[in-house]
């Protein structure tokens, strides 16, 4: 079921005009604060009537200003998770979770509780919940309302790094097991890199690029938008775990080593390679601490104010490297040049299964 969004809305200070399609999976609305992402999310959820536009989910038209049609939020069957959990203080966790259930469905209830690990929290009031617990309850509550689409507006923004790490696996499981399409609004590259199937990049009220996440992350022209955490995503298979704490991953360009992953041997995973952690060499280096050395060919070199982004083909998938202009000149990197990409194991971050 595809979500079609084509809206325009004016605020003081921002004129929004976006159009995109969100196929099944996680579609991430990515961009800096103030870009208009939340406006789009609210329009999809029905909390905002855009000045002009169309919102259509599958065959159902939710908003059509031309026909003066606007389905109110409570009839859209779109679940929302907000940055502040917005849990009902007068109900327990169980009461909150069950709020949106049309019929008492114990099977669905138990399934979501297991998915989000909420069982110990059920009888509690919401006052004592930690940020991460509240976020999980909010997600569970939205899921239990059996939505056709889940809109998540920076659900992890108010959590600290460790809490976020705690929840991201839940969200990945959501993407892969719950079957509900997700519109995920965020300005955090890590989250988007890990979760997104499709990426819609919004800046100053306009769509800069929209497309499959892997392709956009590998595009050197978009590197400045991702900032320092940008980098390519590559697919691999877990070959095995080693007793000295490393996991071996087989990727198209070779074998990669990274710190132990919580994934079973044989599982397909997505790895993120931060561009600024990629070192380039014209010759294969010896005696380095880095374990990952991939043979690659330069496919593109893009310079900007802050440095140079080099796109490399490493036996199939593209890897991006971020180096200084001086180094680029010194190494004489041009498209077609053969070189080696060196990746520190600890720099590799896990993406989820794709």
Partner 1 sequence: MSAPFLSPAEWQAVALSLRVATVATLASLPLGLAVAWVLARRRFPGHALLNGLVHLPLILPPVVTGYLLLLTFGRRGAVGEWLDGFGIVFAFRWTGAALAAAVMAFPLMVRAIRLSLEAVDPRLEQAAGTLGASPVRVFLTVTLPLILPGILAGAILAFAKAMGEFGATITFVASIPGETQTLPSAIYALLQVPGAEGRVARLVWIAVGLSMVALILSEALSRAVTRRVRGRR
Per CB under 8 A, residues contacting partner 1 are 45-47, 72-80, 82, 84, 86-90, 92, 99-100, 102, 124-128, 141-142, 145
Question: In angstroms, what is the minimal distance from the CB of 153 to partner 1?
Answer: 11
Shortest gap between Cβ of 149 and partner 1 (angstroms)? 11
Closest listed residue to residue 49, CA positions, set 79, 77, 27, 71: 71
User: Considering beta carbons, is residue 46 or 220 the nearer one to partner 1?
Assistant: 46
Q: Which two tokens mark 8?
A: 């325009």
Q: Which residues pair with 338 in a beta bridge?
A: 297
The answer to whether the beta carbons of residues 232 and 248 sit under 8 Å apart is no
Nearer to partner 1, 25 or 100 (CB): 100
CB of residue 147 vs partner 1: minimum separation in angstroms? Answer: 8
Least distance (Å) from partner 1 to the CB of residue 45? 6
Dihedrals phi, psi of 130, to nearest 5 degrees? -75, 170
Q: How far is the CB of 80 from partner 1 (least distance, A)?
A: 4
Shortest approach of partner 1 to residue 62 CB, angstroms? Answer: 13
CB of 103 or CB of 287, closer to partner 1: 103
Quote the least distance from Cβ 74 to partner 1, whole Å: 5
Phi, psi of 235 (to 5 degrees): -90, 150
Q: Closer CB to partner 1, residue 147 or residue 352?
A: 147
Which helix (H) or strand (E) covers residue 225, if one does? Answer: helix 223-226
If the CB atoms of residues 124 and 229 are measured against partner 1, the closer one turns out to be 124
Judged by CB, which is closer to partner 1: 82, or 109?
Answer: 82
Judged by beta carbon, residue 100 or residue 212, the one nearer partner 1 is: 100
DSSP assignment of 145-175, as one string?
T--SEEEEESTTTTS-HHHHHHHHHHHHHII
In degrees, to the nearest 5, what angle opens at C-alpha 28 toward C-alphas 253 and 150? 125
* Cα–Cα distance for residue pair 130/123, rounded to 1 Å: 15
Tokens of 19: 């159009």
* Closest CA relative to residue 229, chosen from 266, 274, 184: 274
Residues 6+ apart with CB under 8 A from 217: 193, 199, 226, 230, 231, 232, 233, 272, 320
Q: Which residues contact 327 (CB under 8 A, 6 or more apart)?
A: 280, 308
Least distance from partner 1 to the Cβ atom of residue 206, Å: 27
Closer of 66 and 127 to partner 1 (Cβ): 127
Strand 60-64's sheet: what is its strand order? Answer: 69-70, 60-64, 52-57, 3-11, 14-22, 206-212, 198-203, 26-30, 182-186, 149-153, 78-81
User: Looking at beta carbons only, is 148 or 209 nearer to partner 1?
Assistant: 148
φ/ψ (deg, to 5) at 191? -65, -45
User: Considering the complex, what minimum distance in angstroms separates the CB of residue 126 from partner 1?
Assistant: 4
Q: Which is nearer to partner 1, 3 or 216 (CB)?
A: 3
Beta bridge partners of 301: 310
Give the nearest distance from C-beta 82 to partner 1 in angstroms.
7
Q: Where are the alpha helices (DSSP H) in 4-45?
A: 37-45
């Amino acid at each position: 079921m595809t979500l079609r969004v084509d809206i325009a809305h004016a605020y003081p200070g921002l004129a929004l005009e976006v159009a995109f399609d969100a196929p099944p999976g996680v579609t991430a609305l990515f961009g800096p604060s103030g870009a208009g992402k939340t406006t789009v999310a609210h329009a999809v959820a029905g909390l905002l009537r855009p000045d002009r536009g169309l919102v259509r989910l599958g065959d159902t038209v939710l908003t059509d200003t031309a026909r003066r049609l606007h389905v109110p939020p409570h009839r859209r069957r779109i679940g929302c998770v907000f940055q502040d959990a917005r849990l009902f203080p007068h109900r327990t966790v169980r009461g909150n979770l069950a709020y949106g259930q049309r019929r008492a469905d114990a099977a669905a209830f138990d399934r979501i509780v297991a998915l989000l690990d909420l069982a110990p929290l059920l009888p509690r009031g919401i006052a004592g919940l930690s940020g991460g617990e509240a976020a999980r309850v909010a997600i569970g509550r939205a899921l239990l309302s059996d939505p056709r689409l889940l809109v998540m507006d920076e659900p992890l923004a108010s959590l600290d790094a460790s809490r976020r790490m705690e929840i991201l696996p839940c969200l990945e499981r959501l993407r892969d097991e719950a079957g509900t399409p997700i519109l995920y609004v965020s300005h955090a590259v890590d989250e988007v890199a890990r979760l997104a199937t499709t990426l819609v990049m919004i800046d100053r009220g306009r769509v800069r690029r929209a497309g499959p996440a892997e392709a956009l992350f590998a595009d050197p022209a978009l590197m400045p938008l991702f900032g320092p955490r940008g980098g390519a995503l590559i697919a691999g298979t877990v070959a095995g775990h080693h007793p000295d704490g490393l996991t071996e991953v087989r990727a198209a360009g070779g074998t990669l080593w990274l710190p132990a992953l919580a994934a079973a041997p044989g599982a397909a995973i997505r790895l993120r390679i931060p561009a600024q952690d990629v070192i380039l060499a014209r010759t294969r280096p010896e005696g380095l601490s880095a374990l990952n050395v991939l043979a690659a060919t330069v496919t593109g070199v893009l310079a900007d104010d802050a440095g140079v982004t080099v796109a490399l083909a490493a036996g199939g998938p593209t890897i991006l490297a971020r180096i200084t202009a001086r180094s680029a000149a010194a190494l004489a990197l041009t498209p077609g040049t053969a070189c080696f990409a060196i990746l520190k194991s600890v720099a590799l971050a896990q993406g989820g299964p794709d």
